[in-house]
Amino acid sequence: MEISTKKVISTLGIPRLIIITFMIVLCIMAIFLKLPLNDLLSDTLVRTGMNGVLVLAMVPGILSGIGLNFGLPLGIVCGLVGGLVSIEMDLTGYTAFLVAILVSIPISAIVGALYGYLLNRVKGSEMMVATYVGFSAVSLMCIGWLLMPFKAEEVKWPIGDGLRTTIALTGRYDKVLDHTLSFDIFGVTIPTGLLLFFFLSCFLMALFLKTKTGMAMKAAGDNPRFAIASGINVDKQRIVGTMISTILGAVGIIVYAQSFGFFQLYQAPLMMGFAAVAAILIGGASARRANIIHVILGTFLFQGLLTISLPVANKIITEGNLSEVLRIIVQNGIILYALTKVSSGGD
């Protein structure tokens, strides 16, 4: 028994244990404060599933050596374009969802490759450059959204030019994954389809990492000099990693949107990269090391903390509209903590 406990501790790492303990304490407080714990847990599961793919997008970036992909918004805007195209084509349900993904993949692949070329030019400061690439892409698309020639009523402002800031997916593919095969257990709703999609993505990623290209990419990221000595084209592998990361960003935002019920354009994608970075770091990854477990665990812990801590805090401090302030403090606090773990891998 003692050995297995030790093993659990060493695999999880102390930080994870502390966070898990904190989450359990929050859950207990929620019960005492008469908050509906089952709803909170359902929410946590949904949010894990909806953010999961975005967090998974960090893995190829980290493994190919470009570090944490702060430029995730680049992939996100590609996904948004795909999503809008599927609405423009007046599709609904799974068809619309899949078409959105299919349209966004080639767009994000091309954008990702160009982004990869850029990152190869700035070796050593990828993460800083990536952050500003993300910011620039979002700002540039603010103009793009105004100019894009979409005709659909739901997408365009009713008066004038340009696209709406939020586009409701009601009647399109709002929660198609969430509701697929979902069931209740002890009052907790399990969003089976959503979680399955997330796990399937993880499985595909795991498969990819075991291919020849996957191995080459890992080697290029782990030790570029070793990779060169093994005849691997390091720059090419970094571009592959960046491309996959960008594609997953695009797919991720579509999954996110179907759960959330809205596409958010303009400034909304700006900080999404940070949440994904924080989640994988909390899961135990570092800027050089990451695996699927880090993704699943990290997403669950990060989203769980956000979901549960806010109602608890709001209940304790009932003053006015503190909830938004608290959300920002908690979320950025977690990101800040996670960023201190960039180099050490959270151990």
- Which residues of the chain form contacts with other proteins (CB under 8 A)? 207, 210-213, 215-216, 218-219, 222-223, 225-226, 228-233, 288-289
- The residue among 156 and 288 lying less far from other proteins, judged by its C-beta, is 288
- The residue among 125 and 230 lying less far from other proteins, judged by its C-beta, is 230
Task: Find the shortest distance in angstroms from Cβ 223 to other proteins.
Answer: 5
Task: Find the shortest distance in angstroms from Cβ 214 to other proteins.
Answer: 8
Q: How far apart are CA 104 and CA 101, in angstroms?
A: 5
Three-state secondary-structure class, residue 163: strand
- The residue among 121 and 225 lying less far from other proteins, judged by its C-beta, is 225
Q: Which residues are CB-contacts of 3 (< 8 A; sequence separation ≥ 6)?
A: none
Per this entry, what is the length of the chain? 347
Residue 41, both tokens: 């847990």
Task: Find the shortest distance in angstroms from Cβ 1 to other proteins.
Answer: 23
- Quote the strand ranges of the chain, DSSP E: 166-168, 183-185, 188-190, 262-264
- The residue among 120 and 165 lying less far from other proteins, judged by its C-beta, is 120
Task: Find the shortest distance in angstroms from Cβ 119 to other proteins.
Answer: 21
Please report how the helices 212-222 and 234-260 are oriented relative to each other, as an axis angle in degrees rounded to 10.
Answer: 100
Strand (E) or helix (H) holding 254: helix 234-260
Task: Find the shortest distance in angstroms from Cβ 29 to other proteins.
Answer: 39
Q: Which residues are CB-contacts of 298 (< 8 A; sequence separation ≥ 6)?
A: 55, 279, 280, 281, 282, 283, 284, 285
- The residue among 193 and 214 lying less far from other proteins, judged by its C-beta, is 214
Task: Find the shortest distance in angstroms from Cβ 347 to other proteins.
Answer: 13
- The residue among 229 and 317 lying less far from other proteins, judged by its C-beta, is 229
Task: Find the shortest distance in angstroms from Cβ 149 to other proteins.
Answer: 36
- The residue among 82 and 221 lying less far from other proteins, judged by its C-beta, is 221
Per the CB < 8 A criterion, the answer to whether 312 and 26 are in contact is yes
Q: How far apart are CA 220 and CA 233, in angstroms?
A: 8
Residue 337, both tokens: 């903590």
Strand (E) or helix (H) holding 329: helix 322-339
